[in-house]
Amino acid sequence: MSAAVLPLLFFTLVFGGVGIILPMMTPKGPNRGLIQCVLMITGATCWLFWLCCYMTQMNPLIGPRLNQKTLLMMAKEWGNPIKD
């Protein structure tokens, strides 16, 4: 299963805009450097957090938990009956 290109591109552009474009548009003032640094760190960390969540959904570590009756019924219906 591969990742879809559209969401990856969209969120990369959105968080790239926050981390690259917005720092260039900050007004001049005594705290300009601090605001630019905060915007760059915000863009990078939000993109990284989104990427980790997106990749986690592609291959979940924990699958659904089924009780024994459900497993026996599924095995019977699919042609592999389990003998008690």
SS3 of 39, please? helix
Residue 58 Cα distances to 1, 2, 41, 62, 64, angstroms: 7, 8, 26, 12, 15
DSSP 31: T
* Per-residue pLDDT band at 84 (split at 50, 70, 90): low
The answer to whether the beta carbons of residues 36 and 26 sit under 8 Å apart is: yes
Token pair for residue 21? 């474009």
- Please report, for residues 11, 15, 18, 61, the alpha-carbon distance to residue 7 in angstroms, rounded to integers and kept in the order given: 6, 12, 17, 22
pTM (two decimals): 0.67
Mean pLDDT of 61-76: 86
